[in-house]
Structure 1
Amino acid sequence: MSRSPIERWRLMLGRYADRRMGGCLGTGDQRRDAALDYLYGREYGKRGIETGPREASLDPTRMKALDWLGEARSLFPETVFDKLKADAIDRYQMTDLLKDPKVWEDLEASPATLRTLLSFQDRADPAMQAELRRIAQAVIDEILQKLRTQVMRSLTGRRNRHQRSPMKSANNFDARATIRANLANWDAERQRIVADRLRFMARQKRHLDWTIILCVDQSGSMTESLIFAALMASILAGLPGVRVKMVLFDTSVVDVTDQLDDPLALLLSVQLGGGTDIGKALAYCEGLVEQPTRTVVALISDFYEGAGPRRLLATVARLSEARVKMLGIAALDDSGRADFDRVMAGKLAALGMEVAALTPSAFADWLAEVMV
């Protein structure tokens, strides 16, 4: 976002510069300023300076910790939000964030909420830790319920173009058959086909016999993708005929396959941060491959390799030669957008790894396409 010098100075100097600088902030920056002032305005109090009430919609005297937490999360990048949370607890003793369960129960059941819960888990007192775990489990259960239907539809049935279905679902719509069935309805004046007979394909139940190896980057920038990967792994492991293995990595490699039935315990065991050695992790996953032509290796990473690239590229080349299905996932979240190393992604793609940024439902559809 581009800001003028005066806007940048105003944000740095804080609200007391507003009168001299003429109210130069736009609506979004006013909200950011208010959220920052709610937290860092406490510095005046620590120094014995009386500030008086503030005339704004986010008055610190009225704003609650819950309001601030949700507002800050929506306004700032993840790294900035993490810093704000840490300062709230460590520097300004906003202990109500750790002691009041209502602060968490009223937040939306989303990966962002789950990420926040997990980040506070080790800071809370023992009694509150149990409460945070309970709320986190409820969030996980709600997300899983939404995901499971999408994944099961994609992976337990495949579309059959030769059999028509009475179930009129957009997922089963057969565009080609619909056009053929309505060619006689060509409207020359409007230059279009008027379709009065829609065609839908049936879905056939299928038995899967595949191994899916999820190789997941646990660096801080991949937190939301890691959460979705753990939830997807739990769902996939419940499918008949599918074996799921999951490996987490930074500069070390941890096999968490034995924890897939408890996503919360898995996520609580994660140590975010550190460097990144993708080649080491993928070489470990190569050792897990038993039937190459019936194995999918999904590398979930931003592809920023901290080690030399030679090992990574050599491993991908061997897996490709063995005809292992390889998927490179730059992001696995609700947005399907990612910031990743496009140069490295291009090199991986040239060696046979398909690369994309995906939502979880799109990932399920992708798996259904390759597992045939």
Structure 2
Amino acid sequence: MNDETPDLPGPRDRVIRWRLVLGGDEADPDDVPLSADDLVRDRALAQLYDGTGRQSGKGKGPRGGGLGRSAPSVNRWLGDIRTYFPSSVVQVMQSDAMDRLGLHQLLLEPETMGAVQPDLNLVTTLVGLNQVIPEHSRATARAVVRAVTDDLEQRLRSRTIQAISGAIDRAARTRRPRHHEIDWRRTIAANLKHYLPEYNTVVPERLFGHARRSRQTQRHIILCIDQSGSMAESVVYSSIFGAVLASVRTVSTRLVAFDTEIVDLTDEIDDPVDVLFGVQLGGGTDINRALAYCQSLIERPEETVLVLISDLYEGGIAEEMLRRANSITDAGTVMIALLALSDSGAPSYDADHAAALAAIGVPAFACTPDQFPELMAAAIEKQDLAQWAAANDITLASAVVDD
């Protein structure tokens, strides 16, 4: 049942699998005994899911569920599930152990964290526990978080840089170039239909210029992230994209996290781990206050993209939030409301606020990490983001309300 073991055909293997799912007693026929490996799997499943006295085989008495309250027993259990189950199952079992067995407190021990398979769910758990992780466990916690964020950043980096750099290059081109700015290859290729053979020349109807390089920074991006507990996965991905965007020379990126208070994490933006250990998941939400702070950062509205990542449950003054968003867009800033930046789909969100933002030109929808680079490219080029969403099979929140 681990990643290297292929599925075995035949009824015996199916019976064993059902035996492991259902437990002992009547589910444990005499003619299909469990192997030593299957007994380890059976014990691991029982410790997690057996809260009802399921039998561990005939004559062995009831087996009690639970991992105990000591780090060594948890470490043994974590080692067993990593050895005898596929990684996808390990992640589910680790997650269930958080909920069913109160594993959160034991995660504060470095020995336990070192035995856990790093995954996105574990990162969000550790970020949520950030404020109570003792000093002797903090280095191990950071190492676990870094393993996951490094892997995600490696997957997303090249695509993001390519999309953003290409969008900036296209947006910076001019069709009224000065003579020294003319891109002759593109101009000639675009005007070949105007070739005059009698003069052996091309008459250019349209001139194309090279991308302007007069300013090193050509776009400003502000990521404004809701720290409420439901946004944990979005916070993780935002920290990674913030680091990637910060590495693009022609982009200036600010990263702001908020609940009822505001934390500007731009100084830590190069390192997603520093960002994640600088947030505090949970608490209230004051979007209006966060937008007021972000508005104060905008110096060149026409060159700025503001991404509000929030479920839009406003705890502050909703009317003022909408007025402020309207003011931001009226000044020329492109503003987007992402209900989620995650693989989990759209969370619960305030549909009325989403519709109200859409009505003033701020589209609201959920976005996966794989779609985010293209979304930012479309925003930089000032495309119609509602049309972009439709073309990418993304449902706008306002469309759900209208239906």
What is the TM-score when the length of structure 2 is the normalising length? 0.60
Structure 1: distance between partners of 2:254 and 2:142: 25
Offset of residue 226 of structure 1: 0.5
Query: Could you tell me how far 1:338 is from its partner in structure 2?
Result: 2.8
Asked if the contact 2:128–2:281 (Cα under 8 Å) also holds between the matched residues in 1, the reply is no
**C-alpha deviations, 1:41-69, integer Å up to 9, x for none?**
499xxxxxx97337x9x999998246499
SS of 2:353's equivalent?
Answer: helix
Structure-2 change in CA distance of 1:97 and 1:36 (3 Å): farther
Deviations 1:13-58 (A, max 9, x none): xx99x99xxxxxxxxxxxxxx9797378499xxxxxx97337x9x9
Q: Which residue does the alignment assign to 2:243?
A: 234
The residue that corresponds to 1:173 in the other structure is: none
- Which residue is 1:88 aligned to? 103
Deviation at 1:111, TM superposition (A): 2.4
The residue number in structure 2 matching 1:252 is 261
Structure number with higher strand proportion: 1
Q: Who wins on radius of gyration, i.e. which is larger?
A: 2
Residue identity in the other structure for 1:296: V
Superposed CA offset, 1:155-193 (max 9, x none) = 122599xxxxxxxxxxxxxxxxxxxxxxxxxxxxxxxxx
Alignment of 1:201-212 (within 5 A): 209-212=218-221
- Once the 2 structures are TM-superposed, how far is the Cα of residue 89 of structure 1 from its aligned partner? 5.0
List per-residue Cα deviations over 1:228-270 (Å, max 9, x = no partner).
0011010001101100011111011111111101211111121
Residue segments in structure 2 that go unaligned for 5+ positions in a row? 1-21, 27-43, 54-59, 171-209, 382-403
Would you say the 8 A contact 1:72–1:81 is kept in 2? no
Match of 1:144 among 130, 150, 153: 153
- Aligned with 1:214 (options 216, 219, 223): 223
Please point out which of 340, 344, 359 is paired with 2:368: 359
Tell me which residue corresponds to 1:103.
115
Counterpart CA distance in 1 for 2:145 and 2:293 is: 31
Q: Which moved more, 1:110-119 or 1:320-329?
A: 110-119
Q: Which residue of 1 aligns with 2:352?
A: 343
Distance in 2, matches of 1:246 and 1:89, equals 28
The corresponding residue for 1:332 is: 341
1:99-178 residue pairs with structure 2 within 5 A? 99-104=111-116, 106-107=117-118, 110-119=119-128, 126-158=135-167
Q: Aligned pair 1:274/2:283, yes or no?
A: yes
2:261 & 2:120 partners in 1: Cα distance? Answer: 25
Secondary structure in 2 aligned to 1:53? Answer: coil
Query: In percent, how many aligned pairs have the same letter?
Result: 31
Question: Could you tell me which amino acid in structure 2 is paired with residue 316 of structure 1?
Answer: A
Alignment partners' CA distance in 2, 1:150 and 1:206: 23
Equivalent positions of 1:295-314 (< 5 A) are 295-314=304-323
* 2:380 counterpart residue number: 371
How far apart are 1:148 and its partner, in Å? 0.1
SS at match of 2:103: helix
Please tell me whether the aligned partners of residues 229 and 282 of structure 2 are also in contact (alpha carbons under 8 angstroms): yes
Provide the C-alpha distance between the structure 1 equivalents of 2:277 and 2:158, rounded to a whole number of angstroms.
Answer: 25
Distance in 1 separating the partners of 2:108 and 2:288: 43
AA in 2 matched with 1:263:
P
- Cα contact 1:65–1:96 (8 A) shared by 2: no
Identify the match of residue 298 of structure 2 among 271, 289, 303: 289
One-letter amino acid of the structure 2 residue matched with residue 285 of structure 1: C
Contact 1:122-1:129 within 8 A present in 2 as well: no
Alignment of 1:74 with 2:92, yes or no, is yes
Give yes or no for contact 2:224–2:308 (8 Å, CA) kept in 1: yes
1:253–1:101 distance in 2 versus 1, CA, 3 Å: closer
> CA distance change for structure 1 residues 335 and 206 in 2, over 3 Å: closer, same or farther?
farther
How many aligned residue pairs are there?
285
Q: What is the letter of the counterpart of residue 111 of structure 2?
A: K
RMSD after superposition = 4.0
Relative to structure 1, the CA distance from residue 312 to residue 123 in structure 2 (aligned partners, 3 Å threshold; closer, same or farther) is: closer
Structure 1: distance between partners of 2:67 and 2:120: 29
Paired residues of 2:312 and 2:349 also in contact (CA < 8 A): yes
Residue aligning to 1:5: none
Shift of 1:320: 1.6
SS in 1 for 2:276: helix
Q: 1:322 to 1:51 in 2, by over 3 A?
A: farther
Query: Does structure 1 residue 52 correspond to structure 2 residue 62?
Result: yes
Show CA shifts across 1:295-330 (max 9, x none). Answer: 001000001111231110110110121111001100
5+ unaligned residues in a row in structure 1: which ranges? Answer: 1-14, 20-33, 44-49, 161-203
Partner of 1:38: 48
Aligned counterparts of 1:277 and 1:59: Cα–Cα separation in 2: 40
